Structure 1
Amino acid sequence: MSPVTTFQSLLGTDQVTTWSSLDDIRFKAADQLAIVFPQSIEQLSAVVRTCYEQRWRMLSCGQRTKLHWGCHHQLNNLDVVISTARLNGLVDHWVDDFTTRVEAGIGYADLQTQLARQGQFWPVDPLYAQQATVGGIVATGEGGSLRQRYGSVRDTVIGVQFVRYDGEVVKAGGRVVKNVAGYDLMKLLTGAYGTLGILSQVTLRLYPMAAQSQTMVLSGDAKAIGKAALQTRLQGITPVAMDVIGAGNGLRLAGRFQGIAAGVEEQVARFQAIAQGVGLTSESVEDSSFWSSLALQLASPTAVLCKVGLLPTQLVPLLQQLENLPLGWLGRLHNASGLGLIALATNGSDHYPDLADTIARLRSHCVTHKGYLTILQAPPTLAMDPWGYTDNALDTMKAVKEKFDPHGLLNPGRFVGGI
């Protein structure tokens, strides 16, 4: 039997459909590619076990918001797509411990709404915030600007439950983090793009919501922006977000400060003093809309989206290389870590003049300064390796993949080096 017929018999017709019925024009895929929606961990396990027995290649996802990342809109060599979108419950919330356990398909926005009732939140601010699921955010390690204060997505994941390549359910970690021998499964699965297992539940570290939040934006000469960015790293200022932002109209340095009123005022005053010292202007902007607007622009479906990392001292020089591009662009780079996103506008056209040369130049700058550039989203016509990985850990990553997925059935070819 075909995958569609097999899973309709196993789960029912309301939990199985074909890719063509979704009318998702972002991807080229076989019309009869099966997409399955398990409604329990037991069903998810059964689906994966069936795929293992038939040696069907699986692609896991939530709401498909980042399914195109790194693949240039091609869904090739697949038999089954497994969506965890209906595994969307909040399992436990230990309010006093500031931890929660959720199913992987719970929406990010839905989770934050439920946590806010107890004055708590999960400290990530991803793209596609209204559609993204917790499992998708963890699988891609996409956390946003709040890593300045709270660390990466990986730092907030303290427990996982996932389904192995053969359908077995595995648990690791929990409400309390302990040092143990062997693999740190929470860290391994975070950012692995589903190539090591399909997340079914995640336990997260939470934080209290701030009493006050204020965002200040510094504007002026690029050289002065670089000086101010350096000063904020050296002077002990503690924003929850501090990003170097570039666009066609110049560079800015945006700082977000949260806490009690007196603490926010003191931090803002120190930030303004830095601005004055290097000759930059400062203004207060509407807090939440400023950051959400940046995320919406970066998430444009027609943009070429790149994730970058490099030495923080090289953020301004990297963005300066984009100043003379023929079309619009936006960069949001995190001042402390040197990580961030760059979106290159295409105006809806598959043809972008000198796109490959532009990305190659940016990638070269990042690699030269101890970093990388990954192409998350691009038109199918761009004939470049999305990852551009050149370091020496690829053999180790392939060995780990072999241990976790010996038949290469989980998200084949979705990760670095074709893993």
Structure 2
Amino acid sequence: MTRAAVASRLAEIAGAPNVVLDPAQLAAYRIGSQTPSAAVRPASAQETAEIVKFAAAEKLAVVPSGARTKLGMGMPPRQYDLALDMTRLDRVVAYDPGDLTLGVEPGVTLRRLAGVLAEHRQFLPLAAPFMSQATIGGTIASGMETPLRQFYGTPRDYVLGIEFVTGEGLRAKGGGRVVKNVAGYDLHKLMIGALGTLGILTTINFRTFPLPAATRIFLAACGSAEAALELRRRVALSPLRPLTVEILSPQAAEMLTSNVAARIEPGALPPALASKAQWVFAASFAGSEAVISRCDRELRRMAEQAATESAALLSADETSCLLGRVREFVPIALESSAATTVVKLSVLPARMNTMLSAAAKAADASELPWAAVARGVGVIYVALLPQARDDDARERVARATGHLLAECAAVGGNAVIPWCPGEWKGALPVWGLPRRDFAQMQKVKNAFDPPGILAPGRFAGGF
């Protein structure tokens, strides 16, 4: 079928104004070196299904997108004919504040949804990067991990159900819209983090949570990563239940006070955070002022036992600013270097010191500036920050990431490279070391996308 015929059929389904053919506009949908031949903006789940069914019949590869803040994740698609822009599906489908349940379409932005929920003193713990632009659909499809995982878990813990379109253009759903769901297998959880390779999300149902009365951050300056991790260990063994626990390398703490950070997430931070020689332990707590005061007293006692150098309880404004900037660590890092490469390490909390030491050694051996944010649950983001984007920088980054991935595997962890320059993806193990579950993953892909047209090649194993 000719390009004109494809455009004509898409216009029949979604309306001519919602079909993009202009090369200048299509450049916004580029992934790596690939640009689609057309983009289409459906307005409903039914239109989405019709478009995918048509694409399957014509063997057109489809890549879904929202605000396009995370198209740089994963591998470039092997084939990219049609960009499926989901931003017109932007309705709050159902919201019952009394039952703490919510159903939204994927084009709803995180910022807008936060405002809707705040009217009822509720929120979603999706404190994901690119907060000012990102959509719900892209955040769920990319599996973005958030600082609030410490207390609330991952999206798999509070996504109740998902309606989606399969690779054959069939509408399907997994889960439901109630907290106590008995609707069978949790198939919807497969969609979280799959980058649209298994289905196109059309409705996502969540459990919502009450907004805390107040939230404050306890900050401790530490002379070493070991001291910060020792304080984390003491907090984990105590009765205290923090919302977030973050350990910032000196470079990360400095980065979060930079002009780049202030532009992405405005606000004021305590001057002590900018010290170039200290690691920073930051834990947030929620509750009444009495609860927060008790947490502050307990943490100061534990900080003394862990041999930290100073401690402070941040004001409400400072807390809001620091939580926002920690959330935006990846976007800040991406703007801080010409070729930022971010490695995500997932290990047991007891192994974090090993991996932070490995990060320092790998970066120093390859003469790379670096910064790290380690979460109390055992997730570490290491940003390698070469100041050039040439072959030499690529080789040094490849050596450093190879060392990190090997060290992570040696301690039983998992490592991926969610962000790096597009032209380097062929030289870096973006999805980490080879996995043993490839055959099972292929069966799942074949079941949900028999034609193989949904974001082909974007996911691990070339799916």
What is the Cα-based RMSD across aligned positions, in Å? 2.0
Task: Kindly provide the CA deviation profile for residues 67-105 of structure 1, in whole angstroms up to 9, marking residues without a partner as x.
Answer: 11022xx45411111111111111111010111100011
- Equivalent runs, 1:228-247 vs 2, <5 Å: 228-247=231-250
1:258 deviates by 0.8
Equivalent pair of 2:53/2:169 in contact (CA under 8 Å): yes
- Asked if the contact 2:123–2:211 (Cα under 8 Å) also holds between the matched residues in 1, the reply is yes
Task: Between 143-152 and 285-294, report the one with greater CA deviation.
Answer: 285-294
Q: Is the 8 A contact 1:19 1:30 kept in 2?
A: no
Contact kept in structure 1, 2:20 and 2:38, CA below 8 Å: yes
Mapped partners of 1:374, 1:150: distance in 2 = 23
Q: 326, 339, 350: which one pairs with 2:379? A: 339
Q: 1:377 and 2:419 equivalent? A: yes
Q: Which residue, 253, 256, 259 being the options, matches 2:287?
A: 259
**SS of residue matched to 1:321:** helix
For 1:35 and 1:348, locate their aligned partners in 2 and report how far apart those are by CA, in whole Å. Answer: 33
- How far did 1:348 drift? 5.9
CA distance in 2, matches of 1:251, 1:124: 26
Take 2:280 and 2:351, find their aligned partners in 1: how far apart are those partners?
A: 15
Question: Given the superposition, is the C-alpha separation of residues 11 and 171 from structure 1 closer, same or farther in structure 2, using an over 3 Å criterion?
Answer: same
Tell me how far 1:239 sits from its aligned partner.
0.5
Deviation at 1:296, TM superposition (A): 3.1
When residues 19 and 290 of structure 1 are mapped into structure 2, their CA distance, relative to the original with a 3 A threshold, is: farther
Distance 2:55 2:102 in 1: 31
Superposed displacement of residue 253, structure 1: 1.6
2:371 to 318, 330, 342: 330
Tell me which residue corresponds to 1:6.
9
The equivalent residue for 2:446 is 402
Distance 1:330 1:6 in 2: 49
Q: Which ranges of structure 2 fall in alignment gaps of 5 or more residues?
A: 252-275
Q: CA deviation at 1:175?
A: 2.5
Name the residue aligned to 2:267: none
Q: Is the contact made by 1:244 and 1:315 (CA closer than 8 Å) also made in structure 2?
A: no
CA gap of 1:404–1:234, structure 2 versus 1, over 3 A, is same
Matched residues, percent identical? 27
Contact 2:128–2:328 (CA<8 Å) still a contact in 1?
Answer: no
In the TM superposition, residue 20 of structure 1 has moved relative to its aligned partner by 3.2
Read off the aligned partner of 1:293 and give its amino acid letter: R
Cα contact 1:18–1:32 (8 A) shared by 2: no
Q: State the Cα distance separating 1:197 from its structure 2 match.
A: 0.6
Name which of 329, 334, 342 aligns with 1:305: 342
Shift of 1:37: 0.8
Letter in 1 for 2:327: A
- Aligned-partner Cα distance in 1 for 2:91–2:29: 29
TM-score by length of 1: 0.93
Structure 1 equivalent of residue 313 of structure 2: 284
- Residue 354 of structure 1: which of 396, 400, 414 is its match? 396
The AA in structure 1 aligned to 2:370 is: W
Q: Which residue of 2 aligns with 1:163?
A: 165
SS at structure 2 position matched to 1:343: strand
For residues 234 and 98 of structure 2, the distance between their equivalents in structure 1, rounded to whole angstroms, comes to 37
Flag the structure with higher helix content: 2
- The total of aligned residue pairs comes to 415
CA distance in 1: counterparts of 2:23 and 2:390, whole angstroms = 22
Supply the distance in 2 between the matched residues of 1:98 and 1:333 (Cα, whole angstroms). 31
TM-score norm. by structure 2 comes to: 0.85
Q: Distance in 2 between matches of 1:251 and 1:6?
A: 58
Structure 2 distance, partners of 1:31, 1:235, is 52
Could you tell me which runs of 5 or more consecutive residues in structure 1 were left unpaired when the two chains were aligned.
none
1:114 and 1:154, CA in 2 relative to 1: closer, same or farther beyond 3 A? Answer: same
Name which of structure 1's ranges 115-124 and 34-43 shifts more when overlaid on structure 2.
34-43
Structure 2 distance, partners of 1:297, 1:141, is 16
Q: CA deviation at 1:345?
A: 1.9
CA contact (8 A) 1:141 1:154 kept: no
Q: Name the CA distance, whole Å, in 1 between partners of 2:145 and 2:112.
A: 17
Aligned-partner residue type, residue 315 of structure 1:
M
Q: Give the alignment partner of residue 48 of structure 1, picking from 52, 63, 71.
A: 52
- Show CA shifts across 1:277-331 (max 9, x none): 1110212331111122233342125521222201211223322334464443322
Secondary structure of residue in 2 paired with 1:384: coil
Range 350-359 or range 151-160, more displaced: 350-359
CA distance in 1, matches of 2:115, 2:186: 30
